[in-house]
């Protein structure tokens, strides 16, 4: 049974999840110290692991180093600090003094103060299934400089070796999975861009180097934060490894004082002994059940007009696209850029969020009504955090952008970043978004952000570094308020593709745009890295035109559809120009996707063959009595015959029907021997196979 126990005689807390236990204690100096994280143990069993602090080996080596629950700077503690404080008199560090603790509804809060200075610190813990959420609160009666405030330090058990899994990339090549040995010393992953970034994603997983999809211990940590962040692994010669993570970056200092508390984002941790596949399925379940705002929903098939029209938008053109999309079975029509202000290109208009009357003479309402009459929801692209210097907003409020005195205002994509940490800017943004959604009956917003921070300051402000935190918090607050005031509104997060993909933004949106690269071959790798932590239920995936606008590659339509069907299916091509054969095929594929959608979006994912090399890639989703297999042959070499594909997640005692072929299969045979895929010949071959459990 899940719960929290406090062992008073040992000053130890034991938190129990569905199949996991986490324990910490207070040492003789009141320092919160890690005891255990791993498979489930009872409180009496945890007691066997607790003990007194060990004496130092010598003047240079401490056997307790790296065991702190939140590694605070100070004294003879030399581990990678998760907390760094400097007081007004120049004193640095923290000396812990335990005050009290409280546990309610599965939430444990342990409160401390400094032994001399009026600083209060609370460590928070909460299990969601087998994912443990941790965060920290700081407050003070006088101003204190906080150079680093991580959410948690995670102490891993001593393993034979350590291997690190993480995602890296760039624009149009996000979430590329990497696996490599953990170096000794400190290894830092992060973003200094004010957004999550395309270049790294805020999670890491660690195993002993032998874990596979199906077997082995895996430990993972992920941050729920959409601004600048860092995760640091520290590996000592003693064999100890920790992961410390939180928001912020080197050189950014926050002031904590009266009326200025600091609460860190959630750092979530997970361990499993079922390999990377079990780890991913646990993360997916956590996101679906405890992170996403509407976890039980099915995400609709959408059409986005960007690739069809670019900035050449007109009411008549959008109506024509909407009519064709509805005829294909699309459920959500999204008007992308070019509908507002002087937005005829990316050089002007951002910030002037009023309908362009030359393009929409009677405003947006006629188009919205037409889309609704066709039986679809209506969505709009917006980029609230940005402004073009060539805009009425910038001419009226040049001080609203991030900038430093006596420094140039760097432009990227002809844009500057608005300072959402300013209350008047956040109020302005909420005001026009609220009117846009409420006055027009908008059902869906694609919230984009097409550049990172630069010159992140505000002249005249004493605590300018708070913008790195408060901007993101303001974005969260606006999204939270919009959703509360408009319960039917759904949101997709985008930042030039996958630049804002994390647990923090997923708590306020319904899906994310993982990459501007819709090339189906590249998407196999992008979606593979994405799936390590995030579920298909939140992954927007489009079918676009040949050749692909990013890569120039042409891929068969069947392959493009099947790859996009591994997530939330959407169309992004110029369907007004599609020949009837392509339209008929699209109708068929959308109907198929709508049938398998519950299994894909809410089922358990089994990665059967990863996109290594250029051979077969295969995924399987299982939900209740149904299973869906998606298989892709990237390239065929030497006319080699297809091998059987062993499935997973089925009951060996049951039989399964393929409703398309009429064939039945033994679950035991599918698991131990495999399924013949029957892929077409040649490169870019793909198939979708549906299986249904036959009632006994």
CB atoms within 10 A of CB 640: 8
* Residue 81 pLDDT greater than 80, yes or no: yes
One domain, residues 314 and 194: no
Q: Which residues carry out catalysis? A: 448, 516
Angle at 436 between CA 432 and CA 440, to 5 degrees: 160
Task: Please indicate, yes or no, whether residues 128 and 158 belong to a single structural domain of this protein.
Answer: yes
Q: Tell me how far apart the alpha carbons of residues 468 and 254 are, in angstroms, rounded to a whole number.
A: 9
Give the chain's largest Cα–Cα span.
Answer: 80
Distance, in Å, from the CA atom of 607 to the CA atom of 203, rounded to the nearest integer, reads 19
User: Domain check: are 589 and 613 in the same one?
Assistant: no
Are 387 and 506 in a shared domain? yes
- Specify the DSSP class assigned to residue 236: -
Q: How far apart are CA 198 and CA 203, in angstroms?
A: 13
Secondary structure letter of residue 399 according to DSSP: G
The pTM score is: 0.97
Residues 277 and 306 in one domain: no
Residues with Cβ < 8 Å from 115, sequence gap 6 or more?
95, 96, 97
**Any binding-site annotation on 450?**
yes
Looking at the domain assignment, is residue 160 inside a domain?
Answer: yes
CA distance 634 to 382: 36
Domain boundary among the residues 263, 291, 319 is at 291
- The answer to whether position 42 is within a domain reads no
Q: What is the pLDDT of residues 651-665, one digit of tens each?
A: 999 999 999 999 999
Q: How many domains are there within the chain? A: 3
Same domain assignment for residues 623 and 549:
no
At 418-428, the pLDDT tens digits run 999 999 999 99
- Whether residue 52 is annotated as binding a ligand: the answer is no
The answer on 372 and 508 residing in a single domain is: yes
Place of tokens 């959008």: 318
pLDDT digits (tens, 9 = 90+) for 194-252: 999 999 999 999 999 999 999 999 999 999 999 999 999 999 988 899 999 999 999 99
177 and 243: one domain? yes
Arithmetic mean of pLDDT, 15-36: 96
- Domain span at residue 678? 609-693
The pLDDT value given to residue 613: 85
Q: Which residues pair with 74 in a beta bridge?
A: 77
| The pLDDT of residue 331 is above 70 | yes
Q: Is the pLDDT of residue 341 over 60?
A: yes
How much is the average pLDDT of 320-340?
98
Q: Is residue 39 part of a domain?
A: no
131 domain-assigned: yes
CATH code of the domain covering residue 685: 2.60.40.1180
31 located within any domain: no
- What CATH code is carried by the domain that includes residue 486? 3.20.20.70
Q: Which candidate, 191, 200, 196, 201, places its Cα nearest to that of 252? A: 191
583 contact partners, CB below 8 Å, separation of at least 6: 324, 327, 328, 575
DSSP 129-150: TTEEEEEEEEEESS-EEEEEE-
Residues 342 and 440 in one domain: yes
CATH at residue 244: 2.70.98.60
Report how far residue 338's alpha carbon sits from residue 31's, in angstroms, rounded to the nearest whole number.
Answer: 57
Domain boundary among 248, 272, 291: 291
In this structure, are 474 and 537 located in the same domain?
Answer: yes
Per-residue pLDDT tens over the stretch 608-622: 999 988 899 999 999
Please give the pLDDT value at position 1: 56
- Please check if 448 is assigned to a binding site: yes
In a domain, 260, yes or no: yes
How do residues 473-516 score in pLDDT, each as one tens digit? 999 999 999 999 999 999 999 999 999 999 999 999 999 999 99
Strand-pairing partners, residue 596, are none
Q: Which of 291, 323, 350 is a domain's end point? A: 291
Provide the β-strand partners of residue 632.
617, 686
- How far is it, in rounded angstroms, from Cα 356 to Cα 105? 51
Measured distance CA(398)–CA(384) in Å, rounded: 16
- The average pLDDT across 85-105 equals 96
* 449 in a labelled binding site: yes
User: What single DSSP character describes residue 640?
Assistant: P
Residue 680 forms part of a structural domain: yes
Looking at the fold, whether 272 and 315 belong to one and the same domain comes out as no
CB atoms closer than 10 angstroms to residue 263: 16
399 within some domain: yes
Q: Are 497 and 514 in contact (CB under 8 A)?
A: yes
Contact 110, 33 (CB under 8 A): no
- Determine if residue 447 is labeled as part of a ligand binding site: yes
| 354 and 426 together in one domain | yes
């Amino acid at each position: 049974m899940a719960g929290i126990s406090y062992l008073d005689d040992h000053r130890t807390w034991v938190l129990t999840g569905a199949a996991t236990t986490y324990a910490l204690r207070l040492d003789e100096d009141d320092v919160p110290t890690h005891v255990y994280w791993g498979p489930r143990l009872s409180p009496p069993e945890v007691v066997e692991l607790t003990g007194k602090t060990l004496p130092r080996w010598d003047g240079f080596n401490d056997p307790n180093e790296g065991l702190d629950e939140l590694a605070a700077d100070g004294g003879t503690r030399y581990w990678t600090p998760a907390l760094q404080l400097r007081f007004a008199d120049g004193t640095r560090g923290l000396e812990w003094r335990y005050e009290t603790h409280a546990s309610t509804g599965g939430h444990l809060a342990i409160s401390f103060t400094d032994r001399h200075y009026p600083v209060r610190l609370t460590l928070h813990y909460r299990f969601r299934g087998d994912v443990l959420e941790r965060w920290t609160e700081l407050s003070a009666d006088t101003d204190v400089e906080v150079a680093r405030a991580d959410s948690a330090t995670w102490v891993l058990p001593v393993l034979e070796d350590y291997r690190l899994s993480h995602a890296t990339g760039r624009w149009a090549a996000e979430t590329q999975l990497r696996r490599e040995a953990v170096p000794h010393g400190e290894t830092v992953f992060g973003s200094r861009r004010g957004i999550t970034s395309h270049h790294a994603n805020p999670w890491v997983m660690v195993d002993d180097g032998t874990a596979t999809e199906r077997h082995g211990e895996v430990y993972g940590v992920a941050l729920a934060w959409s601004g600048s962040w860092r995760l640091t692994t520290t590996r000592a010669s003693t064999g100890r490894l920790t992961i410390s993570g939180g928001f912020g970056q080197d050189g950014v200092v926050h002031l904590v004082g009266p009326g200025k508390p600091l609460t860190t984002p959630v750092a979530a941790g997970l361990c499993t002994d079922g390999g990377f596949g079990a780890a991913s399925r646990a993360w997916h379940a956590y996101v679906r059940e405890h992170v996403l705002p509407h976890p039980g929903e099915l995400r609709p098939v959408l059409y986005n007009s960007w690739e069809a029209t670019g900035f050449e938008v007109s009411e008549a053109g959008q109506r024509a696209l909407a009519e064709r999309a509805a005829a294909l079975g699309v459920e959500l029509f999204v008007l992308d850029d070019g509908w507002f202000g002087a937005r005829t290109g990316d050089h002007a208009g951002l910030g002037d969020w009023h309908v362009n009357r030359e393009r929409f003479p009677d405003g947006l309402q006629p188009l919205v009504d037409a889309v609704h009459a066709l039986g679809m929801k209506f969505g709009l692209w917006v980029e609230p955090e940005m402004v073009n210097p060539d805009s009425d907003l910038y001419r009226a409020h040049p001080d609203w952008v991030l900038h430093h005195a006596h420094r140039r205002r760097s432009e990227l994509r002809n844009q500057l970043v608005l300072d959402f940490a300013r209350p008047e800017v956040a109020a302005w943004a909420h005001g026009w978004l609220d009117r846009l959604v409420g006055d027009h009956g908008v059902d869906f917003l694609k919230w984009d952000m097409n550049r990172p921070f630069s010159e992140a300051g505000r002249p005249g402000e004493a605590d300018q570094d708070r913008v790195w935190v408060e901007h993101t918090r303001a974005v969260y607050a606006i999204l939270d308020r919009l959703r509360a005031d408009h319960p039917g509104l759904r949101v997709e997060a985008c930042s030039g593709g996958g630049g804002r993909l994390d647990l923090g933004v997923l708590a306020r949106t319904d899906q994310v745009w993982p990459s501007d690269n819709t090339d189906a071959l590249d998407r196999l790798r992008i979606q593979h890295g994405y799936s390590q932590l995030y579920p298909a239920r939140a992954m927007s995936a489009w079918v676009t035109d040949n050749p692909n606008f990013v890569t120039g590659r042409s891929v068969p339509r069947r392959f493009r559809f099947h790859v996009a069907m591994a997530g939330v299916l959407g169309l992004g091509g110029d369907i007004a120009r599609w020949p009837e054969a392509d339209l008929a095929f699209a109708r068929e594929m959308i109907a198929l996707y709508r049938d398998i959608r519950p299994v894909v979006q809410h089922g358990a994912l089994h990665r059967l063959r990863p996109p290594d090399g250029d051979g077969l890639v295969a995924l399987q989703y299982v939900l209740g009595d149904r299973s869906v297999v998606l298989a892709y042959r990237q390239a065929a070499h030497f006319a080699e015959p297809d091998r059987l594909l062993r499935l997973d997640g089925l009951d060996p005692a049951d039989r399964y029907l393929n409703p398309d072929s009429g064939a039945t299969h033994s679950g035991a045979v599918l698991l131990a021997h495999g399924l013949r895929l029957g892929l077409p010949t040649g490169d870019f071959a793909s198939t979708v196979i549906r299986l249904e459990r036959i009632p006994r």
